[in-house]
Amino acid sequence: MQDQLISLIAEELSVDKATITLDSDIQKDLGADSLDAIQLIMSIENAFGITVPESEIDHLKRVGDLLQYIKDHQ
Amino acid sequence: MGLHKGHFRIISSGHYTPEHILSNRDLEKIVDTSDAWITSRTGIRERRIANGENTSDLALHAAQKALDKAAYDKSKIDLIIAATFTPELRSPGVAARVQAKLGLDKPGLLAFDVNAACTGFIFALNIAERLLKGGSYRSALVIGAEVISKVTDYRDRNTCVLFGDGAGALILEKDSKKEVFFNVSSRSDEDLILYVDQYINMNGPRVYQFASRVIESSIRELLQFGHFDMTGVHKIIPHQANMRIIESAAKALGVPLESFFVNIQKYGNTSAASIPIALDEMLEEETPLSGEKVLLVGFGAGLSYGACALTF
């Protein structure tokens, strides 16, 4: 699951997979702006079959946050 | 409820935008931003700003253009609904001011405003349809008009680049042969992610997520309800809020971006005015075949959303 998530992030944000760690901050480290970050979450919803409520998105800053959220909600 | 089938015929349309252009380059001189940043983030290159004109002036110009285009006898109008969140007076509303400026004084004529932010025009069309169908009204003038520059904080670079002023109008008549489908709804916004007090305040990412999702879901629900698919749809006219929202919606719906009519680059987000301005510009450029549908979809503060399928 972690590999799938990282591949998806690399593709959506056009960044090298090798630069992505669980500690990477989507916006500060991976160069996404706030709308890229939302777009990424929407792609994750489709890929993993989950729904992220609008009230949750402010808490999903790092790759590890996303992974944990997917694990908890899939 | 929210999904509703009705009937009306579109007689004419018109739009008006103020002459003064505020370009991205102009904004670079006012706030810390750049043409490249605004264009890549929003798709907006310039917007129109009212200078000495207020909301009902813009609304009147748009209405007059719609009347002139069809050489329509204005005395036939018995219903005027204006969608706006920026009226010049708390009371009377913009619709009442337009009525007075057009010199209409027919007994029984009803003129009032609808404030449903960027979905206002769709809500106004829905109300007009129900009054044409169930009431004794026969001819409706439905307007979306905004002077958002009055409530824009030109020190806030996150919002001031987005908005512009303008107005659009449609004239409708009762006609049981032309179907129109609606999917309108208000969803509660407990966190107030988009509101206007003195100025516009917005949680951009959350509004973006809401908008991208709701364009797709409201259109899918509308197609299912009306038992038609995209093959009979001439164009989708979305509320012009952000090019990236439109791109995201096109991807989610699995339709080419060219299915959407876009003029955001010229006007920015004109809230309730954006859909009727875009509809009129589209009709100036292209004519849907008889029986083809044009989809309108709006979303905004409330949170409100509405999709509508017009039959030509």
Inform me whether the C-beta atom of residue A20 falls under 8 Å from chain B C-beta atoms. Answer: no
Pairing type for strands B46-48 and B21-23 reads: antiparallel
Cβ of A35 within 8 Å of Cβ of B244? The answer is yes
ipTM over 0.85: no
Tokens matching residue B226? 């009306």
- Whether residue B107 lies within 8 A of chain A, CB to CB, comes out as no
How far does the CA of residue B207 sit from the closest CA of chain A (Å)?
A: 9
**Residues of chain A above pLDDT 90, percent:** 55
- Nearest CA-CA distance, residue B252 and chain A, Å: 10
Catalytic residue among B24, B54, B269, B308: B269
Active site residue B126: no
Residue type, B15: H
- When pLDDT is cut at 50, 70 and 90, the band that residue B209 belongs to is confident
Query: What's the CATH number where A22 sits?
Result: 1.10.1200.10
**pLDDT for position B205:** 84
Residue A63: which domain range?
A: 2-73
Query: Hey, of A46, A54, A60, which one would you mutate to test binding to chain B, going by the most B CBs within 10 A of its CB?
Result: A54
Percent of chain B at pLDDT > 70 equals 100
pLDDT tens track for B108-155: 999 999 999 999 999 999 999 999 998 789 999 999 999 999 999 999
Cα separation, B145 vs B251, whole angstroms: 30
**CA B295/CA B311 separation, integer angstroms:** 9
Residue B268: predicted pLDDT: 97
Q: E strand or H helix at B23, and its extent? A: strand B21-23
Residue B203 a catalytic site member: no
Please name the residue of chain B whose CA is at the shortest distance from the CA of residue A54: B206
Average confidence score pLDDT of chain A? 90
Determine contact, residues B260/B236, Cβ cutoff 8 Å.
yes
- Write down the residue that tokens 């009054």 correspond to: B131
Contact call for residues B276 and B66 (beta carbons, < 8 A):
no
Instruction: Band the pLDDT of B2: cuts 50, 70, 90.
Output: confident
Put simply, whether A56 touches B (Cβ < 8 Å) is no
H/E stretch holding B164: none
pLDDT at B1: 66
What domains can you pick out in chain B, each with its CATH number? 1-312 (3.40.47.10)
Tokens standing for residue A38: 């939302």
Of the candidates B296, B218, B212, B299, the residue with the CA atom closest to the CA atom of residue B248 = B212
Q: Give the number of domains in chain A.
A: 1
